[in-house]
A and B are shown apart, each in its own frame.
Chain A
Amino acid sequence: MPILSATCLVLYIILVVICAIGVIKKRKSGHLQSRTISGIVVTLTGSFIYVSVTLLRFTVGRSRFPCMIFSIVSYSIPPCFAMPSILRCLRLVFQHRFNLIKTNTLSSSYCMQQEQQNTESLFIQAKQNSNNSNNNSISTSNRNVNSSVMTSVVETFENNQVIAREENTTREKFIIKAHSILTNNTASLIVFWLSIGVQLFLWFVLMVVEDSFFQNEHYFMDGALLISLGKGCGLGFPSTLFVVGISICYFIVEFIAIGLCFTVDNDTWHIKREVFLLVATQILTAVIFTFLSVASVVEIVDYFVPSGFVVAAYSTFELVLTILIPIIRAIHADSKEKRECDSEIEMIISNKETFQIFLDYLRKSFCPENLLCYADIEKYKRETALRQRKKIAHRMVKKYLYEDSPFQLNLPSDLYSVKTVIMDNISFADNQNALTDDLFADIQLHVLSNLVDSYSRLKFSNKTIQKVSNDWNAKQKRLSPRSPMISLSSMTSLKL
């Protein structure tokens, strides 16, 4: 038993270390950003506190493990388990609502791109402002979050009335505010630690009560006092009742949050899927845990499968699902992106800074649609889920190929007829007929050649681009054969 526990503990710690390194390395990736670093830290700490102590207790032996540490951890189980999920669900819900508002606001000024940019930057500004004002209110008092939310919402929006369209309702303001709190790293960490703090406080009160009145009865724990360091103990009946009671409160909150998640669309980063998978496992864990607790009356079962193990297993699963898999996805996505660029223009586009310069130049020349389409095609290729692919592809056809769209591309007539082929592919796509990566290959090639004209003009007028271009060409010269400005060899089919 101790050997098995020790092995599990070592494996678990390795997992935590891998996750921690992964989080630090890939913290810029969308897969982790969308889950917020604080959310990940909360999950990691919550899980680590519980699992390491449980496994350590089994390793050392239940009768020898200090009762004080065990009781403290037992008392903080409910928030350790529920808080990461609650925060995750709420964040998902409010991110969804917030982005709905944002797209609504932006689509009203869809055609006027300059206007669009302004609104967007103002929005960001508003978000930052609210973040700042929010930090202060939260750190002074957590209990007042709700009231301070409303007041600072009003303040922020009075300052930024330009962006607050007339129809910006109180509800929208609340969503914007809630979104900024939930995605604010400091705020959610504070909430998490406060909830654990409350539990610790309760433990402390009970400990003082026990120390004063029940010193000889081991009332709360089986076999030792809450405060005793030298002796091991199990959960006493009052403590079990206490932990279960608090857990139920947390679970109610969690289920409300999960209920809200049902209204959310599937997201690019698979957070919704993850939430529901976790809930299913959580319920399963609860069932097994209850069963084992009942069965553990028969000591032998508990000896082989201590019920604590089940919860530890769930916690480990949570780590893998919400941290390790996103990290792996991030690494995978990055390795895809880092492939060698075939041509100079692709190099310019793949670099974030030069991409912005290029896009800005194209906007001033009234032709950003080509670059936007190129970026969308790349986004399409990165997406792996069929349903998402369909959605993106459908939107792209409407946006770039339809004649009445303000983003219609300048393409030769045979490529407009490709539109029908693409549409057919999209509507017939299912598990047997996947949407392939090269669905837009011809369009992408033409978009690239459309960009040649603007790019060669940009190169003459922008020093940064000139420098990047020269550096790249110098590098390419060393690796012969040199790469061209655009590569035509990727043309897949010949059409007239």
Chain B
Amino acid sequence: MGNIVVSPHDKEGQHHMMATPTSNNPNGGSAATAKNKSEITVLLLGAGESGKSTLFKQVQFFHGVGITHDQERIELIEIVRLNVLENAKNLVAATQHLNIPIEQPENRETAKLIINSLNTNDLEDPSWSKRLYSLWKDAGIQKAYENREKFQLYDSTEYLFENLDRICSDKYVPTVVDVIRTRTKTIGITDMKFDVGDGKQLRLVDVGGQRNERRKWIHFFNTVDAVVFLTSLSEFDLNLYEDNGYWRVKESLRVFNEVVNNALFYKVPFVLLFNKRDLFEKKIATKSFSKYFSGFNEAEEKNPVACIEYMTKLFLNEITEHPLDTVSVKTLSAIDHDNSKQVFEEVKQFIMTQQHRE
């Protein structure tokens, strides 16, 4: 079926960047292999923007796939620049929406160009680096950015604006961090396989998280050997991308409830990952956590450990069916390479031991 088995010493070096979908036969292929356990299928699940694809990209990267090569990252220039433009557009739109004027006249000019005519290829011109950065530093834009919980904005905004001098150049080659940081909304389902030793293969399945995408998950539920459920710690002040009147935490809890109590997963090891720990710690320093959770002790709201403990309880309370001893809870910062590697290693170990026990 043209699956790409990923190993660090792939000679082709060209076409293995992303795995081809093996999903045209989700039930047939791995049902047989599930018996002899030479292939372990791990699902990355979670609501939209919980970091599934970021973790997916990290796993690809530390298995030496794809974005380790310069010429493959070059192909992603467009996507990085598209992110820059979308961020800029969203911020400019937010100033209109929130009625915050952009203060400097020349920045208003830039904003107009961004909305009307700017394309990713224009960013080859280094002069855009200064113009976009000046726009970013505009008091109006900064004020909108401070209120970013009121509209949809990517987590990568600040990072990308701070790196404009590299991005706006005709010699730009995205770094690994750039690629990890860029947001691309995953549509549908993708997967990849790689060797994990002992003649075993791990098949990691990445999915889209928005409501309409979740309907497609069911295709994979039968063949699964472990579930990694991601939820974002920093979403406590945000609403959904697909439904702006709906609190993200509520949605995450709901999805978690549906997944963890699904009869198909009773016997499957389950990992709950609290992602975006880095962002979360920054956020609670300036924002009130207890404002969103009435049951939380206000005095503890600047203590990340207490907050995470509270969130953990909130999620574990949702578990009514799944045996608790096969559930593992961890925190993660998926944009951090070392942390991802360590957490993923732990997850892998947990899944393997659970399977041994069986």
Q: Which residue of B lies closest to A368 (CB)?
A: B188
* A365-B188, A410-B242 known; A487+B119 contact, CB < 8 A: yes
Q: Across the interface, do B93 and A413 meet the contact criterion of CB distance under 8 Å? A: no
- Chain B residues contacting A361 (CB-CB under 8 Å) are 21
Q: How far is the CB of A149 from chain B (nearest CB, A)?
A: 39
A297 close to B (CB within 8 Å): no
Point out the residue from A450, A454, A484, A494 that lies within 8 Å of B78, measured CB to CB.
A484
Among the 9-residue stretches B208-216, B262-270, B350-358, the one with 4 or more Cβ atoms under 8 Å from chain A is: B208-216
A176 close to B (CB within 8 Å): no
Q: Which of A479-496 contact B (CB under 8 A)?
A: 481-489, 491, 494-496
Question: Which of A411, A414, A488 lies at the interface centre, i.e. has the most chain B CB atoms within 10 A of its CB?
Answer: A488
- Chain B residues contacting A365 (CB-CB under 8 Å) are 21, 23, 187-190
B18 close to A (CB within 8 Å): yes
A416 close to B (CB within 8 Å): yes
In the complex, what distance in Å separates the CA atom of A495 from the CA atom of B4?
41
In the complex, what distance in Å separates the CA atom of A449 from the CA atom of B79?
10
B286 close to A (CB within 8 Å): no
Point out the residue from A370, A416, A452, A496 that lies within 8 Å of B184, measured CB to CB.
A452
Please count how many residues in chain B sit with their CB below 8 Å of the partner chain's CB atoms.
Answer: 57
* A413-B243, A494-B93 known; A408+B119 contact, CB < 8 A: no
Please count how many residues in chain A sit with their CB below 8 Å of the partner chain's CB atoms.
Answer: 44
Q: Across the interface, do B187 and A450 meet the contact criterion of CB distance under 8 Å? A: yes
Q: How far is the CB of B18 from chain A (nearest CB, A)?
A: 4
- Chain A residues contacting B240 (CB-CB under 8 Å) are 413
Q: How far is the CB of B189 from chain A (nearest CB, A)?
A: 5
Q: Across the interface, do B186 and A453 meet the contact criterion of CB distance under 8 Å? A: yes
In the complex, what distance in Å separates the CA atom of A366 from the CA atom of B23?
8
Q: How far is the CB of A158 from chain B (nearest CB, A)?
A: 30
Point out the residue from B23, B82, B216, B244 that lies within 8 Å of A414, measured CB to CB.
B244
Q: How far is the CB of A369 from chain B (nearest CB, A)?
A: 8
Q: Across the interface, do B85 and A488 meet the contact criterion of CB distance under 8 Å? A: yes
Point out the residue from A410, A414, A452 that lies within 8 Å of B210, measured CB to CB.
A410
- A-B contacts, CB under 8 A, total: 129
1/0 per residue, CB under 8 A from A, across B56-70: the answer is 000000000010000
* A456-B76, A460-B15 known; A489+B187 contact, CB < 8 A: no
Point out the residue from A416, A453, A454, A456 that lies within 8 Å of B75, measured CB to CB.
A456
Q: Across the interface, do A486 and B187 meet the contact criterion of CB distance under 8 Å? A: no
- Chain A residues contacting B17 (CB-CB under 8 Å) are 460
Q: Across the interface, do B244 and A413 meet the contact criterion of CB distance under 8 Å? A: yes
B297 close to A (CB within 8 Å): no
1/0 per residue, CB under 8 A from A, across B215-249: the answer is 11001000000000000000000001111110000
In the complex, what distance in Å separates the CA atom of A459 from the CA atom of B188?
16
Q: Across the interface, do A456 and B79 meet the contact criterion of CB distance under 8 Å? A: yes
Give me the interface of A with B, judged by CB distance under 8 Å: 114, 361-367, 370, 403, 406, 408-414, 416, 449-454, 456-457, 459-461, 463, 481-489, 491, 494-496
Can you give 15 A-B contacts (C-beta < 8 A)?
A114-B24, A364-B21, A411-B242, A412-B242, A413-B240, A452-B184, A460-B75, A461-B18, A463-B15, A481-B121, A483-B121, A488-B82, A489-B117, A494-B92, A496-B97
Give me the interface of B with A, judged by CB distance under 8 Å: 2, 4, 15-21, 23-24, 66, 72, 75-76, 78-79, 82, 85-86, 89, 92-94, 96-97, 115-122, 151-152, 184-190, 208, 210-213, 215-216, 219, 240-245
Closest 5 CB pairs of A and B: A367-B188, A365-B188, A413-B244, A460-B17, A364-B24
